[in-house]
Structure 1
Amino acid sequence: MNLVNLESVSHAYGPKPLLSDISLGVEAGERIGVVGRNGGGKTTLISVIAGDIRPDSGRVTHSRGLRVGSLSQQDTLDPGATVGEIVLGELAEHEWAGDQRVREILANLIGDLDLTAKATDLSGGERRRTALAQLLIDDHDLIMLDEPTNHLDIEAIAWLARHLAGRKSALVVVTHDRWFLDAVSTRTWEVVDGRVERYEGGYAAYVLAKAERARIAQAAEERRQNLMRKEIAWLRRGPPARTSKPKFRIDAAQALIANEPPARESVELMRFAAARLGKTVYDLDDVTLHAGGPGSGPLVLDHLTWQFGPGDRIGLIGVNGSGKSTVLRLLAGTVKPDSGRLIKGKTVRLAHLSQELTELDPTRRVLESVEEIRKYLLLGKREWTASQLLERLGFKGDAQWKVIGDLSGGERRRLQLLRLLMDDPNVLLLDEPTNDLDIETLNELEDLLDGWPGTLILVSHDRYFLERVTDRCVALLGDGKLAMLPGGVDEYLERRAAGTALTARLGNGATTTTTTTRPGGAGADGASGRSGGAASGPAGADGTQGPASGGSIPGSPGQDGAAGLSAKEERELRKELNRLERQLDKLTDQEARLHAAMAEAASDYAKLGSLDAQLREINVQKDTIEAEWLEAADRLGD
C-alpha cells in the first residue's frame, strides 16, 4: 500500500525547475535513500512528499490518517524549552523510564546531556541530537530525514542506522553519508535534471546499477554511431555488402570491475612521498597534550611517542570531544604540547583544512582565486589546469566566474579544498573535509586524493570516505594513547562496545580510567611508531592499561569468590586466566620487536610488507586469546 503518491508533480525556484513531471510513490515499510548534487532538488522532493511544500503543479496524495515525522536541516527548537520538555513532551517520568525503546534513544542520542538544560544553551551538535531524539520517540508511519548524520559521531551514526533499520515505519532520507545509505536503504532515488531515477538497493547497488545503465547507454550510442558511419559510407559508395551486426556479450558486474586497477598505487605513491619528504614527517616524543591548553581541559595525549611517516594515509577516529581536531592543530603547530617534543621534518610542506572556513576575498572570482596560487598541478602522472580541477569539483562553465561572495557554504568548502591542493603540499591535515559536499563531489575528491603523493591525516565521521581514502585507522579512546585499528571502523566500534560492557561488568567500586579495557601488555595499539614504534608504556592491546601477568583485574570476582562455581572450578579458571595472560605477554613482546623492526626498515617497502603481515597475524592471535580471557572472566561472575 502506498502511503504517499505524487502524480505529475513539478516545482521550480525562479527559472530553475527542480522537479519536472514527477510521478512516484512511497510504500509502507520502504526505506528510500535520496541522492543527487547540492541544489539539485533533494530537499524540495522530500518537502513535497511530507506536505511541507505545495508543488507548482501536479497532485500529492497522503493515505488517510498518515502520521509523518520530519527532521529538516534547519533548527526549529524552542529556545526557551528544556531538553526534557522538547524530547519527552508531557510523558511522566514513570512512563518514559519504563519504556526500553525510549531509554535506548535517550542513552544513544542525549547521553549525559542534562534534561533540564535550555535549548538556547545547547551547541549545534546537541541541538541536532535533541531534535532527532524528539522525532524518534514518537510513532510515525513515515519518517523524513534531511542530513540526519550531521554533528553525529561514528558510534551514534552506527546506532541510528541499526535503529532505523529495525523500525516498521517507512523512511525517506537525504544524506551524503554513503555508508549510512547502504546500511538503511532498500531503494535509492537519484534526483537529477528535474527527474527522479529509481534504483533497487542501497548505495553500493545504486552505483553498480548506474554504471550498468551508463554502459548500456554507451553501447546504444556506439551502435548509433556505427549505423551513421554505414549510412555515410552507403551514400558515398552505394549499397555495401551485408555485414553481421556487432554483438555485446558483457557480464554486467564482472565487466565493470574485471580490468579495474586498485584505487591507488600505494607502493608508487609511497615512493614518491618518500622522495618528497625524506624519512621524517612528524615524530612525537613523550608528548602530553590537553584540549584546553597545558593542564586544562580533557587529556588528549599522555606521554605518547609516535611517528607519522612519508606516504602514511591515516584516519583518526574518536567520539566527539576526544581531541581529534586538537591533535591536528598540534601537528599544524597552532597549539603546543604540555610536555614532550614534536619533531617536524625539514621538508614538510603543510596544508591544514580546519572545520572553520578560511576567509576568502568575497570580491574575487572563483577561477582567479585558484590561479593566483598555481595554474597547473601534477597529480599522479597527469598535469591538470586550475580550470580542469575546478570542473572536477563541480565548478562547471560559468560557475568558475562566479564572485566568491555569492557562493554557498558547500561551494566555499570545495574552493577551499582546491586552493589547498593547488599549493602542492606534501602533508595534508583534513578536519571533516566532507561537510557540505554532495556524493558526486566526494567521488571526484576521492579520485583526486588517490593520485596525490604525500602524508594524509584525516578526521571524518563519514565512514565511507574515511575507509575509501585512508589505508589505516587509529583511535583516541580516552586513555591518552593512539590505538592502531587493523580492522578499521568495525574494530573501533567493537572495542567501544566491549569497553562499555567490561566497564559495566567491573562496576561495584571498580575504577577504570579508559574507555575500553582489555588484557595484555604493551601492544600494537598501546605502542607507538610508524605503524607502531617505540612503546610508550605498559598498555593493553588497544592502548589501555591491562592486568599484570599472573594477577587479576581490580574488582574482579577473584577477590570475593565466583557465585555458582565450586572451589575447584574457580581455581581452574584462575589458572586459565593466568595462562592466557602469559600468552598475551609473549605475543606482546613479539609485537614490540616487530614494531622496532618496522621502524628500522622504514624505507624498505618489501620488508615493511612482510613485517606488516606478521604483525597482522599476531593481532589475530591476540584477538582470539583476548576473547577467551573475557569469556573466562565472565564465567567467574563479573
Structure 2
Amino acid sequence: MAHLLGGENLSIAFATRTVLDSVTVGLEDGDRIGIVGRNGDGKSTLMRLLAGRQTADSGRVTVRAGVHIGYLDQSDVLDGESTVGFAIVGEAADHEWASNRKIREIMGALVGEVDWHANIHSLSGGQKRRVALAKLLIGGDDVIMLDEPTNHLDVEGVAWLAKHLQQRWRANEGAFVVVTHDRWFLDEVCNRTWEVHDGIIDPFDGGYAAYVLARAERDRMNSVIESKRVQLVKKELAWLRRGAPARTAKPKFRIEAANDLIADVPEPRDTVALSRMATARQGKDVLDLENVSLSYGDKEIFKDITLRLAPGERLGLVGVNGAGKTTLLRLLNGEVEPSSGRLKRGKTVQTAVLTQEVRELDDVLDLRVLEVIEREKRSFEVGGKDMSAGALVEQLGFTKDKQWTPVRDLSGGERRRLQLLRLLVGEPNVLMLDEPTNDLDTDTLAAVEDVLDGWPGTLVVVSHDRYLLERVTDHQMAMLGDGKLRGLPGGVDQYLQLREEALSAASKPATAGSGAASGPSEGEKRDARKKLNRVERQLGKVAAAEAKVHSQMSSKVGEYDALDELNAKLAALAGEKAGLELEWLEASEVLE
C-alpha cells in the first residue's frame, strides 16, 4: 500500500494544556480510519493538522506529491450568497454533472429535497450541512476527512453514507479519516481506529467493536481492570459479544484474553429485576394511547393508533422526518390533546422529557454543576444501590474539578449530560429522550447507557443513532409518515428495508387501467421544495419564539398570572409548530 500522508512528532497546546504531545501517525492507501476519544481531547485538532488547516507547535505533516485532500468541517464554510447549485457544482452545466451516475446518486441522497436555486443563507443548519457534504463527495479527492458527518442525517442518511464510503474506492485505493460519535457508523465503515487521549494516540485494528475488544485487552495487560473506566468498557464489551457477535468477526488480534475478561460479567440489564422494581414504583398501569388520532386542519398525523407502555418497558422510535416522533412524545407527556381517542395515565406515573434543546438549563446558568444536582436531590438509586449526587455526576464524566464549573461555562456536550442528570435525579418513572446523543462522545455515551441500564423505569427513546437504540431499548417501532405505528421485530434493519420498499413502490409508474395517478410533475416538485424551505424558516422562527417565552418564564417564577399568559403563548406556538410540521410532511411526500 502506498503512503498518502503522515504527521511526525506533532505537538500542539492551547494555553497551558497540551492537546497532542509528539504524536506520529500515517495514512496509507486503503485506510478507513475512525478517530475516537473524549470531547476536547484533540480529535478534530488532529484531523485539521493532517489536512493542513492548522499548524502544529512542533513536528511536521508530509503529503505525497499529487495527493488531493477533501475536508468536511463542523462549521459553516459555504458562501451564504451562493445558490445551492453553484455551491456544489460551480459553473458546470447541468448536462455535465447530470450525466455522471455517481454525482446523481449523491445529489439525490443528500440534497434531493433542497431548492437548487435557493441561496445558502436561506437554508437550515441541517440543509447547509448536507450541501457541504455533497460538495465534498462529488469531488475526486484521494483522501477525505470528515468531522462529524452524521450530524443532521437521519437513520437512512447515515446508512446511505456508510454504503457510499464502502463503495467509493477499491479495497486498496483512497483513504478517509472520520470523527463521529455514531458507533454503528464507525463499526460499519472503519478498518482502523485511533484513540486520542492524554496527548497521545493509540492505534487499533478494526472498527468500534474491535476497538472495544482491544481496549479491554490492553487494560487487562496494564493491570487496570478495576478502574471505573474499564468497568464501562467491560460492560459494553459484554453487550457487543452477546448481542451482536457478527460485529467482532474482523479483528486481526487475539481476543481470547478479552473473552476471559468478560466471562463473569452479567447481562447489561437484569430485565426481570428491573421490571419488578418498575412495577413497584409505577403500578401495573403506565401510559396508554387508545385509538388516538391527531389532526391539524384536514391532515391526520396519527390515525387511530394504540400504544401501551408497560412498567419497565424500553421502546425505541425511529422514523422519517416530519412523521411525528416528537409529537408522539408530547402526546405521551400530556402536552398535546388528541383529536380523538384518549391517553390513559397511571396514578403514580411521573414523566420527564429530554428535549433536543438545552434551554432547560437557562435558569441555573450561574450555579455550579454539583449545586444544580444537589439542589434537586443529594442521593440517587441506580440498580438498587444508593449513589450520591457527586458519584453520579462523576460517573457521567464530570471530574471533581469540573463539578465546580458554572453551568454557563460548560460545552454543548457537557450541558447535554447535565440536562440528563437533572432529569434523572428527579426520579421520574417514565423517561422520554428526544435525540439524546447530540454533542456526546463515545465514552460519555457508554456512561449514559450504563446509568440507563440500572434505571428502573419505562424508557422511550427517539434517535437516529441505531447503536444507542439497539443498546438501551428492548424493541423498536417505526413511523413511516402514514399516521401508523409499526413494530420492528427485525430492528432498524427492518425499518430501512420498509423504507426502501416504500420508496421503490412510490417511484414505479402506475399500471395501465389502474386509475392511479402517475406521480407529481416537475413543477409540483419545485413548488414542494419551495414550500419545504419556507416551512423550515418558519419553524426556526417558532423555535426562537419558544426560547424567548421560556426565558421570560424563568424570570416570572411565582407570578402566576404572568406564567398563565406565557403558558398560553407556549400552547399557541406548539399548535403553530405542529401545523408547520404537517405542512412539511405534505411537501416531503410530494418529493418521495
Smaller-chain TM-score bracket: 0.7 to 0.9
How much identity, in percent, do the aligned residues show? 54
**Deviations for 1:547-590, whole angstroms, at most 9, x for unmatched residues?**
xxxxxxxxxxxxxxxxxxxxxxxxxxxxxxxxxxxxxxxxxxxx
2:37 matched to which residue of 1? 36
The more displaced of 305-314 and 477-486 is: 305-314
CA distance 1:221–1:99, shift in 2 (3 Å)? closer
Q: 3-state SS of the aligned residue for 1:452?
A: coil
Quick one: which of 479, 502, 505 aligns to 1:502?
505
Q: How does 1:496-535 map to 2 (within 5 A)?
A: 496-505=499-508, 507-508=510-511, 510=516
Q: How does 1:469-480 map to 2 (within 5 A)?
A: 469-480=472-483
Q: How far off its partner does 1:333 sit?
A: 2.0
Partners of 1:512 and 1:470 lie apart in 2 by 41
The yes-or-no answer on 1:71 pairing with 2:72 is yes
Report if the CA contact (8 A) 1:503-1:512 is conserved: no
Q: How does 1:441-460 map to 2 (within 5 A)?
A: 441-460=444-463
Q: How far off its partner does 1:221 sit?
A: 11
Partners of 1:173 and 1:344 lie apart in 2 by 45
Where structure 2 has 5 or more consecutive residues not aligned to the other structure, the ranges are 228-253, 520-592
Report if the CA contact (8 A) 1:199-1:206 is conserved: yes
2:378 matched to which residue of 1? 375
Q: Provide TM-score, normalisation by structure 2.
A: 0.79
Partners of 2:506 and 2:44 lie apart in 1 by 42
1:255 matched to which residue of 2? 260
The yes-or-no answer on 1:179 pairing with 2:184 is yes
Report if the CA contact (8 A) 1:31-1:185 is conserved: yes
1:19 matched to which residue of 2? 20
Report if the CA contact (8 A) 1:289-1:299 is conserved: yes
> Which letter maps to 1:471?
D
**Deviations for 1:512-551, whole angstroms, at most 9, x for unmatched residues?**
99xxxxxxxxxxxxxxxxxxxxxxxxxxxxxxxxxxxxxx
Q: How far off its partner does 1:219 sit?
A: 8.1
Partners of 2:329 and 2:517 lie apart in 1 by 30
2:204 matched to which residue of 1? 199
Partners of 2:517 and 2:450 lie apart in 1 by 47
Quick one: which of 407, 416, 427 aligns to 1:404?
407
Partners of 2:508 and 2:116 lie apart in 1 by 27
2:248 matched to which residue of 1? none
Report if the CA contact (8 A) 2:323-2:483 is conserved: no
2:289 matched to which residue of 1? 284
> Which letter maps to 2:411?
S
Q: How does 1:124-523 map to 2 (within 5 A)?
A: 124-168=125-169, 169-218=174-223, 251-290=256-295, 294-295=296-297, 299-357=300-358, 358=360, 359-505=362-508, 507-508=510-511, 510=516
Report if the CA contact (8 A) 1:9-1:55 is conserved: yes
> Which letter maps to 1:270?
S
Q: How far off its partner does 1:511 sit?
A: 5.7
Report if the CA contact (8 A) 1:360-1:404 is conserved: no
Q: How does 1:79-90 map to 2 (within 5 A)?
A: 79-90=80-91
**Deviations for 1:477-531, whole angstroms, at most 9, x for unmatched residues?**
1111100000100110111112222333463563699xxxxxxxxxxxxxxxxxx
Partners of 1:512 and 1:42 lie apart in 2 by 50
> Which letter maps to 2:78?
L
> Which letter maps to 1:256?
L
CA distance 1:369–1:221, shift in 2 (3 Å)? closer
> Which letter maps to 2:204?
Y
Partners of 2:188 and 2:127 lie apart in 1 by 24
Where structure 1 has 5 or more consecutive residues not aligned to the other structure, the ranges are 223-248, 514-638
1:566 matched to which residue of 2? none
CA distance 1:65–1:336, shift in 2 (3 Å)? same
Partners of 2:69 and 2:363 lie apart in 1 by 41
**Which protein, 1 or 2, shows the higher relative CO under an 8 Å CA cutoff with sep ≥ 6?**
2
Partners of 1:471 and 1:221 lie apart in 2 by 29
> Which letter maps to 2:344?
I
Q: Provide TM-score, normalisation by structure 1.
A: 0.73
Partners of 1:221 and 1:388 lie apart in 2 by 16
Report if the CA contact (8 A) 2:69-2:143 is conserved: yes
> Which letter maps to 1:393?
L
Q: 3-state SS of the aligned residue for 1:17?
A: strand
Partners of 2:255 and 2:417 lie apart in 1 by 37
Q: 3-state SS of the aligned residue for 1:218?
A: coil
**Deviations for 1:120-164, whole angstroms, at most 9, x for unmatched residues?**
111111111111111101110110000000010000000000101
Q: How far off its partner does 1:20 sit?
A: 0.2
Partners of 1:490 and 1:511 lie apart in 2 by 31
Q: How far off its partner does 1:360 sit?
A: 3.9
2:109 matched to which residue of 1? 108
2:54 matched to which residue of 1? 53
Q: 3-state SS of the aligned residue for 2:376?
A: coil
1:616 matched to which residue of 2? none
Report if the CA contact (8 A) 1:9-1:19 is conserved: yes
Partners of 1:95 and 1:507 lie apart in 2 by 31
> Which letter maps to 2:414?
E
**Deviations for 1:84-117, whole angstroms, at most 9, x for unmatched residues?**
1111222211122211111111111112221112
> Which letter maps to 2:311?
P
Q: How does 1:613-628 map to 2 (within 5 A)?
A: none
2:247 matched to which residue of 1? none
> Which letter maps to 1:416?
Q
The more displaced of 274-283 and 312-321 is: 274-283
> Which letter maps to 1:510?
A
Report if the CA contact (8 A) 1:283-1:308 is conserved: yes
Partners of 1:342 and 1:219 lie apart in 2 by 50
Partners of 2:126 and 2:8 lie apart in 1 by 37
Partners of 1:105 and 1:433 lie apart in 2 by 28
Partners of 2:73 and 2:38 lie apart in 1 by 18
Q: How far off its partner does 1:381 sit?
A: 2.1
Report if the CA contact (8 A) 1:9-1:57 is conserved: yes
Q: How far off its partner does 1:259 sit?
A: 2.1
Report if the CA contact (8 A) 1:392-1:441 is conserved: no
Number of residue equivalences: 483
> Which letter maps to 1:459?
V
**Deviations for 1:361-400, whole angstroms, at most 9, x for unmatched residues?**
2111110100000000011121111111111111102110
Report if the CA contact (8 A) 2:3-2:64 is conserved: yes
1:225 matched to which residue of 2? none
Report if the CA contact (8 A) 2:214-2:258 is conserved: no
Q: How does 1:525-604 map to 2 (within 5 A)?
A: none
> Which letter maps to 1:295?
G
CA distance 1:418–1:221, shift in 2 (3 Å)? closer
Report if the CA contact (8 A) 1:317-1:475 is conserved: yes
Report if the CA contact (8 A) 2:323-2:482 is conserved: no
